[in-house]
Structure 1
Amino acid sequence: MTKLFFKKIPVGIALLMLLGVVGCDDDIKDLSNEIQADSIELKTVNAETKAVIDQLLIDAPDAIIAHRGTTFWAPEETEAAFRWARNMGADYLEIDIQKTSDGILLALHDNNLRRTSNVESIYPGRADYDLSKFTLKELRALDAGTWFNEDVPDNARLEFVDQKISTLKDVLLIAEGMKVKRDENRNPYYKKEDGTETLNLEESTGEFVFVEDEVDNGNRPGIYIETKEPWRFSGMEKALAEVLKSNGWLATDNPKNIPTTPGKVGVANTKSRIILQTFSWQSVLLLEEFLPNIPKCMLLWKGGYDNLVDDDADMIADVLNFSVDNNVHIIGPSIAGAPNGYDDLSAPWMNEMYHRSGFVIHAYSFDTDDQLKKYNGDYYYTGLESRFDNPNRTLQGEWSGKIGRENFIDGGFTNLTDLSLEYQGRATPGVTAQTVLEDLGYGTYIGRN
């Protein structure tokens, strides 16, 4: 249904007109919020925050953010998923961080290990334990790949069997062009306390041995890190700052040079190499305390955590004003549509509010061409042209002067980096998701025909 715009008509008259032509409560609510949004005064980011935002738009414009590496082509947040996203050409590898009982930061989404591992068979009686009750070595014993072959049989590969849970440090190394050292049977090498190598997990520290990836193609993505609610992991933000600094990835504190190749993704060697994200207002405060002036994204979820958000202009204004006060740089709203069916927190009037405060918009998650077109504004322009194909396209007559670039996103999370690359015109001819998997050594297809 086409939206109606009455920006210069008094609210009461506009609503009466709408009632006469639209019999849909959602449309009435949306129009009411849009009219209200125009009149809401918003705080705007300060000069220091704007400088970080401006740099981000230089370092990673139209960012393609590989959600958990991928959830579609490989087991999420494993080496296979992150190597695929890196070689595919994502600007960022997105991860969720959690902490083991021995203090190691992990890349893992769920609090529980049931969905993405064989924890029930390896640790009977502990299958419902929070992952924070396990040591790194215990977690490395789990098979974090076979479940994917069962859940996504169309994309099943033999080499996904016994993929391992990743640590934050692992992901940093993969982004630098490394891979886990393995024997001829794909068994990983681990580090021992004395620095030597072993294939025996039990006599190791649980940390992998890494080597240069011989099929690395030169892309150097940044890392987009999500923190959970602070009550789950006390001290997480401080520990995160320490890991990033000790590995040379903290852009504000003696960052290491990560060599990049012209024509390839080079975000890892920019000031925007790390982006921090959270749904938690409390975590925003802690991230700003321990990681000031690192790009931060306030994620929005309808009714989630401690930052209750609805498709309501006043509630959105509260979130934006908090974000301005606490040095946030990016707003991360959900988008509507299959396959996820999230609530739409990226409607044009909402995006206008986010941009009016000065924020960049990184929305989630783009898994269809239809979503990419809708939230990048293609449906509002003549011929449905992508702005990536024709940046000089003209607005359709009915939208002229009412919809502009400020109503649409600046980047997006995706499980299908290949699809976003194609949409943006950045895909390499002849290179597909499948060919990248094969080049990386995940070539034994065992999915259903």
Structure 2
Amino acid sequence: MSYPITAWPRFALAAGLCLVAAACSDSSNVQVNTHTEGDNSPASIGEQLADRYMIPYPAVIAHRGASLHAPEETRPAYLLARDQGADYLEADLQRTRDGTLIALHDTNLRRTTNIEAVFPDRADDPVNTFTLAELKRLDAGSWFNEAFPERARDSYAGLKILTLDELRQIAEAGDNQPGLYLETKSPALFAGIEAELAAYLREHDWIGKQARQAPTGFDGDIDVGYSPGRVILQTFSKDSLVQLHAEMPDTPKILLLFLGGDGSITADPTIQQREDESDAAFQARRRPASPEAYNTFLDFARDQGAIGVGPSAARDDLDPVYSYADLADDSMIERAHRRGLLVHVYTLDDAVDFRRYLNRGVDGIFTNDPTALLDFTGAPTPTAVDARLEQLGY
């Protein structure tokens, strides 16, 4: 089913708290009505699932914040995503040597900080060998100005790595109340991170019996942070998914999907890179070895308590930074939906890609440019990015 740009439904309707808790605890028991008003299209099935889990549909997931316009996983990136109206602030969680959870993607600090200038003898050391105080000495913003001069801002120089606590406070502080979409990044490096995350979220009333509720008179455009879907947990690791479900059985979880490499879906070995082919084009052509190779991951996700999967997407422009195999074609989405699994695809920034994957029936999109996705889905028009950043003091 194909929709015009302005016709995408923005939010799933409430279906009842007890139903959500049961569904999140055992997604294998989800029964989807595929014949509502005669419509068994992928979009219809996905919307029913989103409704059941009380997850926005289609979900706008700010990948490392609004990271197209500000340094990833820093304060301005998350403030921009929050105030523009993203449903979720997405973050990669790691742990410092002294036990603080932080938002950072790479396990090495070279790409996004000035580690070589501050700690030249430790430039290749993993993040978990640094204390929080040491990490706070680093400049986590200037790299962006150098890499993307067309989007550079003097105010980005000197930005700091954020803790999970600082990210939570950003999510709670605005008129909009987005949810948190949290990944256990390289969890094998951080024994017990799942239990630590559960304890943190309970302590701050993001999960559990006392989970935060909307105050009387709340009138923000985004209230995901007050809903049963306020936290979504994500991981590429099967072991971490099992531990996340043991620690937080009633919290929505997503198994991320990728192709090739340890712990990933087996790739079709007959698809080889051509001599004159770019890495981006090659990645976009790759496919799973068989339907069964893909289905094994869907079945594992369902059986271990996940409510959905997060497959990679092939971008139209073959951007070399985000070039992945297409793990969300029509058949793959249908197979996920038939198992009661939502499909949140990563990582898309352009209308041509939004249209293609939403028309296939994906239920949410990780994006570095939530403003563009909000515009595409017909949400109330966000403020222009430059104007919003100036409002925020950047």
TM-score range, shorter chain: 0.7 to 0.9
Partner AA of 1:336 in structure 2: A
Q: Which residue of 1 aligns with 2:306?
A: 328
Mapping of 1:221-370 within 5 angstroms?
221-250=178-207, 252-259=208-215, 261-262=218-219, 264-310=221-267, 311=288, 312-337=290-315, 338=317, 339=319, 340-370=322-352
Alignment of 1:113-192 (within 5 A): 113-177=109-173
- What's the CA shift string for 1:55-109, capped at 9, x where partnerless? 5653412110000002210010011111111011100000000000000000000
1:392 maps to what in 2? Answer: none
Q: Deviations over 1:8-57 (max 9, x none)?
A: xxxxxxxxxxxxxxxxxxxxxxxxxxxxxxxxxxx97214999x955565
Hey, what's the Cα distance between the residues in 2 that align with 1:122 and 1:154? 27
Calculate the TM-score normalised by the size of structure 1.
0.70
Counterpart-to-counterpart distance in 2, 1:158 and 1:141: 18
Deviations 1:221-274 (A, max 9, x none): 000001134321100101100111111111x33213354843511000011100
1:355-397 CA-to-partner distances (Å, cap 9, x unmatched) read 11111110011111110111111xxxxxxxxxxxxxxxxxxxx
Assess if the C-alpha contact under 8 Å between 1:55 and 1:271 holds in 2.
Answer: no
Partners of 1:234 and 1:329 in 2: CA distance = 24
Q: Distance in 1 between matches of 2:169 and 2:362?
A: 30
Counterparts of 2:340 and 2:139, CA distance in 1? 44
Rate the CA distance shift 1:292–1:161 in 2: closer, same or farther, 3 A. Answer: same
Q: What is the rounded CA distance, in whole Å, between the counterparts of 2:266 and 2:307 in structure 1?
A: 18
- What TM-score do you get using the length of structure 2 for normalisation? 0.80
Q: Percent identical across equivalent pairs?
A: 40
For residues 95-148 of structure 1, give each alpha carbon's deviation from its aligned partner in whole angstroms, at most 9, with x where no partner exists.
Answer: 000000000000000001111111111112011110100000111111111111
Q: In terms of mean alpha carbon deviation, does 223-232 or 306-315 score higher?
A: 306-315
Matched position secondary structure for 1:435: helix
Residue 370 (structure 2) pairs with residue 412 (structure 1): no
- Contact residue 228 and residue 283 of structure 1 kept, 8 A: no
CA RMSD, Structure 1 to Structure 2 (Å): 2.1
Rg larger in structure: 1
User: Relative contact order, CA 8 A, sep 6+: which one is greater?
Assistant: 2
CA shift at 1:291, angstroms? Answer: 1.0
Partners of 1:362 and 1:258 in 2: how far apart? 26
SS in 1 for 2:120: coil
* Aligned equivalents of 1:269, 1:318: Cα separation in 2: 34
Give the Cα–Cα distance (whole angstroms) in 2 for the partners of residues 219 and 376 of structure 1: 25
State the one-letter code of the partner of 1:223. Answer: L
The separation in 2 between residues aligned to 1:315 and 1:322, in whole angstroms, is 11
**What letter corresponds to residue 297 of structure 2 in structure 1?**
V
Question: Given that residues 92 and 221 in structure 1 are in contact (C-alpha distance below 8 angstroms), is that contact kept between their aligned partners in structure 2?
Answer: yes
Contact 1:49-1:328 at 8 Å conserved across structures: no
Residue type matched to 2:171 in 1?
Answer: A
Alignment of 1:45-124 (within 5 A): 45-47=28-30, 57-124=53-120
Instruction: Judge conservation of contact 1:418–1:427 (CA < 8 Å) in 2.
Output: no
SS in 1 for 2:81: helix
Change in Cα spacing, 1:248 to 1:370, as seen in structure 2 (3 Å) is same
Of 386, 390, 394, 1:438 maps to 390
Give 2:353's match in structure 1, choosing from 358, 363, 371.
371
Question: Kindly tell me: are residues 99 and 75 of structure 1, through their superposed partners in 2, closer, same or farther at Cα, counting changes over 3 Å?
Answer: same
Q: Distance in 2 between matches of 1:352 and 1:55?
A: 17
Asked whether the 8 Å contact 1:68–1:94 carries over to 2, the reply is yes
- SS of equivalent to 2:102: strand
CA contact (8 A) 1:53 1:295 kept: no
Q: 1:428 is matched with which residue?
A: 381
Residue 240 to residue 56, structure 1, CA distance change in 2 (3 Å): farther
- The answer to whether the 8 Å contact 1:117/1:143 transfers is yes
Which ranges of structure 1 fall in alignment gaps of 5 or more residues? 1-42, 178-215, 378-406, 443-449
Q: What is the rounded CA distance, in whole Å, between the counterparts of 1:333 and 1:59 in structure 2? A: 17
Q: Within 2, Cα distance between the matches of 1:227 and 1:416? A: 22
Q: Which amino acid aligns with 1:245?
A: R
Deviation at 1:309, TM superposition (A): 4.3
Distance between the aligned counterparts of 2:307 and 2:93, measured in 1? Answer: 20
* Aligned mates of 2:185, 2:131 — CA distance in 1: 19
Q: Is the 8 A contact 2:27 2:307 kept in 1?
A: no
Equivalenced residues, count: 329
- Is the alpha carbon distance of 1:56 and 1:79 closer, same or farther for their aligned partners in structure 2, counting shifts above 3 Å? farther
Structure 2: gaps spanning 5 or more residues: 1-25, 34-47, 268-287
Q: Describe the SS at the equivalent of 1:336.
A: coil
One-letter identity of the residue aligned with 1:326: Q
Contact 1:302 1:343 in 2 (8 A): yes
Q: Check conservation: 1:249, 1:273, Cα contact below 8 A.
A: yes
**Cα distance, 1:286–1:112 mapped onto 2, change above 3 Å:** same
SS in 1 for 2:244: helix
- Cα–Cα, structure 1 residues 270 and 44, in superposed 2: closer, same or farther, change >3 Å? closer
Q: How far off is 1:437 after superposition?
A: 0.7
